[in-house]
Structures are given as structure tokens and as C-alpha cells.
């Protein structure tokens, strides 16, 4: 599949690359083209075959923009179920070239100093994925937004510029201790931040159901609907991103806002709790089959804007404890799940590119990402639509060592990933390519 005497191009995209003979997929359609890359940027989509230091023969392969996953938990600092070596490898093997990491770490990312420390931690890990961060909201840190560069009061942030993709608000308790329930405080962030990302489950509803017999009953769909109704009274259209909606009702109610769905809510149901127990415990919970089917209906009707993995791993020891935390790993399987669904006729490939690459880059204003076109960063994934594999946790790259999709047979897996014009991954082998911090458009 690879040719060229120079071997894999390394060093942050230095050199030239030709991806030859593949089918390039965009939100607008599919067309066979050669993709020529120089200096880490896409130069042209052409029928010609210019000379290049590295040629990747892509006959029969789908050529997609690298996935921009705006919702991952790589658990650093302070937690041991993932890190930026294992997490970035899992991402790049799954065709994910950019991740935006959540703030509920230990300590949480709620001050400028902690955010800068997070940059240092990630940079020292030399991750093979591009990265950015969300900033955590508390009852007392609204004043940090200017320093973090995400305040609407300063359209052009002072140096070092915008350091966070959004401010994350937890309206319901989840992993970590970030929680903001006061509607006045939430309104303050909605008015002051360029973008807020919201875990929309209402804490008062959760507490009213805390004696219910199971996790799904303790966090009913009413908790999500109540939280979204509250958001409607304070949120600004175009500046609110609702994470992990689980049903058509939620997606329709949140229509003024950006809406995210996760693969686990699209492909799994609450029956998984009966099959694998706390390994299927997530917030919001997996719903019944009727809700899962309704979420697909919302997706196909254009009521979902983004698919984010909500990659949230925990160790086996934690999941098997008396108080198991919520969250499942998913960054490496999100694209294979969606491509398999496309190959089964459930959704168009063009829509997958829109939902997983183009829209998240546009919504969070991530420069240079999300599409294959001249001038964009050469973050590209090659998918073999003929490759069929059974999901095996031992073949994945998560530090936690398990997956809720174990045993599923999926067709259409990433076989090569290019990061900034350099070959980062090919058929199980990683190359010494380093990701970089994303930048944001004004």
C-alpha cells in the first residue's frame, strides 16, 4: 500500500505526500482523486500524479478528513485509566486526528494555571494526535474567561490567545466534582463565553430519584429534558453545545443549540447493563430501544450536529468496585461503528464526514481541520470498506483494556492515518509523528 524510497515522512509534515487513487469523501459528495500534500498542507485534489517523497496507494479505499472528536476524557492529570500516550494512539488508530479534552480531571481544569499545566503535561507526553481543551465552569471562576481567551468581552484574545475550545458546564453531577446548578451562574457563562458545552442533566431531578432501583431510573430522561428547558431560558443561539443527547425529544427541544450524539447512545441500549453490568454505566444512561431508535431518527432528520465519542475510560478495578464510576471508552471505535452503519445503508458517508469532521471543526472554530481541500491541514484517514473485524479489546490501544463493543463485527476500518502530512499510523504500526495544540479562528 505504501511506496516511495524516502519511507514514512516524519518531522511535522516536512516533505511531500501523494495519496493516489482513493475515493475522497466530503459533506458535498464523493469523487475519486489524488491528494497532493506539501509542508503539512493539502495542495491539490487532482487527476495528475505528481512526484512525492511518499506515495500511499489508496485504490479501493475511502479517503476521509481526520475525525475531530470534541469530547474525550484522557484523564490527565490525576487519574490512571488513560493517558496521552495510550489515548492518542487509540485515537490515531481509529482515524481521529484531533481531540478536545474535557476538564473534569484531578484537579479540575478551572484556572488559567491549571490549564497551562495541562498543556505542559500533554506536550511532555509527545502525543500522536492534535489536541485542545475545554475549560471547567464553577460558581466562582467566571473572571478567568478573559485570561483563558474565551470571553466575548475580548473578541481578539490577548497573548497567548484563545486557550480553550469552550467552557464546560455540568448541570448534573458526573465523574469528578464539577457541578453548577445555579441558573444565574449558568446565565453568566452563557452571556460571557464564546461557547459553552453543557452536560445537560438536571441535578434536582437526579436527587429526587436517588433511591430508584437502577442507574437508568436514577437519571431519567426527564433530567435531560428539564436541563435543556432551563438552558433555553439562558443560552445564546450559536453559543451553546449540548453534549450527548439521548433521544429525539432532547434533540428537538434543544433545536436552537448545537447537539451532540455519542456512538454508545446510538448503538447500545440499557439492556447492556443487564449483560455487562457497570461496564455499561454512563451519564446520561443508556436508554431503552425506543429512545435509541428515536436518536437515529433525529440524526437522519438533521437534528444532530456532531458525533463525539465521550471517550471516558475507567479501569476494570473501578468498574467492578462497590461504587463504579460512569463512562465507557470509545475514541478508537467511533469511526468504525459509523462506517459500518453506512455500509449497511443506515447513513450516508457524506453525513459521517459532516458529523465527525467538518461540523465539530466549524462549531469550535478549530483552524485548518475538518475537510480535505487545498490550504487545509493534511490530517487524513484512509478507510478500507472491505475490511471486517471483530472488536477485540486486546487489539485496541486503550489503557483500560476493555470496550463495551467487544464481540461486535464491524466492516470498514481505518488502515492508515496521516497527521500534518506525515504518516502516523498504518495497519497496526505507529510512526514517530507528534501532534500539536490546535488554534482557533477569531
Active site residues: 310
How far is residue 362 CA from its own chain's centroid?
Answer: 13
Rounded Cα distance, 101 and 119, in Å: 11
Distance set, CA 228 to CA 35, 225, 240, 241, 259 (Å): 43, 5, 11, 11, 11
List the beta bridge partners of residue 63.
Answer: 24, 382
- 151 with 193: CB under 8 angstroms? yes
The cell numbers describing 372, all together, are 480535505
**Residue 358 per-residue DSSP state:** I
Strand, coil or helix: 7 = coil
Rounded Cα distance, 104 and 73, in Å: 8
- 327 with 400: CB under 8 angstroms? no
Picking from 26, 327, 363, the residue whose alpha carbon sits closest to that of residue 194 is: 363
Upstream peptide bond of 240 is cis (omega within 30 degrees of 0): no
How far is residue 131 CA from its own chain's centroid?
Answer: 11
- For residue 242, with 0-12 CB atoms within 10 Å meaning exposed, 13-18 middle and 19 or more buried, which class applies? buried
Dump the DSSP string for 84-152.
HHHHHHHHHHTTEEEEEE-S-SSS-S-SHHHHHHHHHHHHHH--SSEEEE-EE--TT-GGGHHHHT-BT
φ/ψ of 234, rounded to 5, equals: -130, -20
Amino acid at each position: 500500500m505504501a511506496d516511495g524510497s524516502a519511507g514514512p515522512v516524519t518531522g511535522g509534515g516536512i516533505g511531500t505526500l501523494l495519496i493516489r487513487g482513493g475515493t475522497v469523501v466530503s459533506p458535498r459528495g464523493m469523487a475519486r482523486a489524488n491528494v497532493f500534500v506539501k509542508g503539512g498542507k493539502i495542495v491539490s485534489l487532482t487527476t495528475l500524479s505528481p512526484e512525492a517523497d511518499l506515495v500511499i496507494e489508496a485504490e479501493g479505499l475511502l479517503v476521509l478528513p481526520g475525525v475531530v472528536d470534541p469530547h474525550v476524557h484522557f484523564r490527565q492529570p490525576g487519574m490512571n485509566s488513560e493517558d496521552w500516550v495510550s489515548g492518542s494512539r487509540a485515537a490515531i488508530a481509529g482515524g481521529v486526528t484531533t481531540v478536545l479534552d474535557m476538564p473534569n480531571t484531578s484537579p479540575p481544569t478551572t484556572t488559567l494555571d491549571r490549564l497551562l499545566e495541562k498543556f505542559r503535561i500533554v506536550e511532555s507526553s509527545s502525543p500522536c494526535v492534535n489536541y485542545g481543551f475545554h475549560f471547567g465552569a464553577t460558581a466562582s471562576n467566571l473572571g478567568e474567561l478573559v485570561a483563558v481567551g474565551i470571553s466575548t468581552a475580548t473578541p481578539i484574545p490577548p497573548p497567548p490567545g484563545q486557550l480553550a475550545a469552550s467552557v464546560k458546564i455540568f448541570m448534573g453531577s458526573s465523574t469528578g466534582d464539577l457541578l453548577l446548578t445555579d441558573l444565574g451562574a449558568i446565565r453568566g457563562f452563557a452571556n460571557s463565553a464564546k461557547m459553552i458545552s453543557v452536560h445537560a442533566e438536571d441535578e434536582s431531578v437526579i436527587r429526587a430519584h436517588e433511591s430508584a432501583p437502577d442507574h437508568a431510573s436514577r437519571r431519567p430522561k426527564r433530567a435531560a429534558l428539564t436541563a435543556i428547558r432551563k438552558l433555553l431560558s439562558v443560552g445564546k443561539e450559536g453559543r451553546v453545545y449540548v453534549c450527548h443527547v439521548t433521544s429525539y425529544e432532547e434533540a428537538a427541544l434543544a433545536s436552537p443549540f448545537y447537539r451532540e450524539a455519542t456512538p454508545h447512545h446510538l448503538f447500545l441500549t440499557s439492556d447492556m447493563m443487564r449483560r455487562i453490568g457497570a461496564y455499561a454505566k454512563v451519564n446520561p444512561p443508556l436508554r431503552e430501544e425506543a429512545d435509541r431508535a428515536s436518536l437515529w431518527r433525529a440524526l437522519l432528520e438533521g437534528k444532530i450536529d456532531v458525533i463525539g465519542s465521550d471517550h471516558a475510560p475507567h479501569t476494570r478495578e473501578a468498574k467492578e468496585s462497590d461504587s463504579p464510576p460512569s463512562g465507557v471508552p470509545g475514541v478508537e471505535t467511533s469511526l468504525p461503528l459509523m462506517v459500518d452503519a453506512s455500509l449497511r445503508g443506515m447513513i450516508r458517508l457524506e453525513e459521517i464526514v459532516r458529523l465527525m469532521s467538518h461540523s465539530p471543526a466549524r462549531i469550535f472554530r478549530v483552524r485548518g481541520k475538518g475537510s480535505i481541500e487545498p490550504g487545509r491541514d493534511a490530517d487524513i484517514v484512509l478507510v478500507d470498506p472491505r475490511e471486517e473485524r471483530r472488536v477485540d479489546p486486546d487489539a485496541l490501544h486503550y489503557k483500560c483494556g476493555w470496550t463495551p463493543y467487544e464481540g461486535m463485527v464491524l466492516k470498514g476500518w481505518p488502515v492508515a492515518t496521516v497527521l500534518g502530512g506525515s504518516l502516523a499510523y498504518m495497519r497496526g504500526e505507529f510512526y514517530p509523528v507528534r501532534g500539536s495544540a490546535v488554534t482557533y479562528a477569531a
